[in-house]
Amino acid sequence: MTDTSSDLFQPGSLTSEAAKKRLKKRYAAEARFKFLGAAAIVTAILALSALLISIGSTGITAFWQHTASIELTLDASLVDPKGTGEADSLRAGNYRKILRDFMTEKFPDVSGRQDLRKLFSVLSPGAEVELREAVLADPSIVGQTIVFDLPISDDGDMLFKGFIDPDVPESDRRLNDKEIAWLSQLDEEGLINVGFNQRLIFNGDSREPEMAGVMGAVVGSFYTMLVTLLLAFPVAVSAAIYLEEFAPKNWITDFIEVNINNLAAVPSIVFGLLGLAIFINLFGLPRSAPLVGGIVLALMTLPTIIIAARASLKAVPPSIREAALGVGASKVQTVFHHVLPLAMPGILTGSIIGMAQALGETAPLLMIGMVAFVSDIPSGITSPAAALPVQVFLWADSPERAFVERTSAAIMILLGFLVVMNLLAIILRKRFERRW
């Protein structure tokens, strides 16, 4: 029985001084909580903005590159030593001599082995490769004089981007006075151009920063994510449906659920050790391959997708199940025709978020050998490959200044993929969302 004799229900109790103090204290606590919440949000936004600005300001310069437009005569005796015009003969051509002859003609006063070595290094070692590829792509240009747009050295690129100060002492910079003078002369003659760095996007990895690109890592990540999706999604969703809708509630299922939750918290490097011991050492699967990387990441992603799928199935109102069963639907029909479609937006969202997490993992891929230097673009799931996080790791460990900006550029590309995957999760949620 309610006690109406308390002070709370006495006339004027809500307007008493004690009540006013309690209300004032309550409102002050609420105001403090709102302030702390707003401060936490502002702090997070500022920290994220500082991170993105730091990465963007460092990496944006990697998206353009300085090149040299030089006129070369493709002497048939040098380009096609066998005189057959076949790819084997063109591939064996002495393209290095063509480039060196151009540089010695452009700077005839340079002599001495040391100075000549410095002069020849003004152009990137990749210039020879690109010249060879141009001839192989169009053998009809042999014997002609053509202007080629070829990359200069990474140090030359850094000079024109302003990262090398010519005014500092010569001993404190990577380019000496003569190299700067040669590059300046080429620039004054209008031979130095700047444009979009397509090599960063379409090339594989390289020891030369000016020739290094992310395409090999992007393709490797794609194949790895494809294997991960094909293995993790159907297994995880099937396990979630069984555990949530069909499995009896006993100590066995409780034990399975506890272990699923525990596996979601296991450090990712443990899965890498598992992949190294089982899939590579025991089963003999190829090392550094997206196939093994995808299997390892699928095992790591399974608990996340199972938990998200179970939560989505549990969120479907019981009335949906009861209505379906009430009109004569079987248990399987109820689950697959009514419950699963309603839970699908949450399942897809959880799956894509789990895949995005897997895309950013590095530790398990390092353990299975995907840290190896791979310059070729992978052609399948069993080809040696790198992944974007591993590519970032490799470039961050390189001493050249040009790799610093390429590391940040690779991070920007990786973040772009993660943003796209999260946007895809939102679109799929809106697309498959059904109201009841």
DSSP symbol at 208: S
Tell me the three-class secondary structure of 406-418, residue by residue: HHHHHHHHHHHHH
Answer yes or no: are the C-beta atoms of 63 and 79 closer than 8 Å. Answer: no
Residue 68 φ then ψ, to 5°: -115, 125
Answer yes or no: are the C-beta atoms of 294 and 226 closer than 8 Å. Answer: yes
Among left, alpha and beta (phi > 0; psi -120 to 50; other), residue 144 is beta
Distance set, CA 402 to CA 306, 391, 409 (Å): 43, 15, 11
pTM of the predicted structure, to 2 decimals: 0.85
Quickly list DSSP for 161-201.
TTSS-TTS-GGGSSS-HHHHHHHHHHHHTT-EEEEE-HHHH
CA 125 to chain centre: 27
Q: For residue 65, which of 165, 130, 188, 150 has the smallest C-alpha distance?
A: 150
Answer yes or no: are the C-beta atoms of 71 and 149 closer than 8 Å. Answer: no
Q: What does each of the 436 residues of the chain score in pLDDT, given as a tens digit? A: 445 545 544 555 556 788 888 888 888 999 999 999 999 999 999 999 999 999 999 999 999 999 999 999 999 889 988 888 888 999 999 999 999 999 999 999 988 889 999 999 999 999 999 999 999 999 999 989 999 999 999 999 999 999 988 888 888 888 899 999 999 999 999 999 999 999 999 998 998 999 999 999 999 999 999 999 999 999 999 999 999 999 888 888 889 988 998 888 888 889 989 898 999 988 888 888 999 999 999 999 999 999 999 999 998 988 888 888 889 889 899 999 889 988 988 898 888 888 888 888 888 888 888 887 888 888 899 998 989 999 998 898 888 889 999 999 999 999 988 888 888 878 877 777 665 5
Residue 73 φ then ψ, to 5°: -100, 120
Q: For residue 224, which of 409, 380, 25 has the smallest C-alpha distance?
A: 380
Q: What domains appear along the chain, each with residue ranges and CATH number?
A: 63-196 (no CATH), 215-432 (1.10.3720.10)
Sign, CA dihedral 69-73-79-80, equals positive
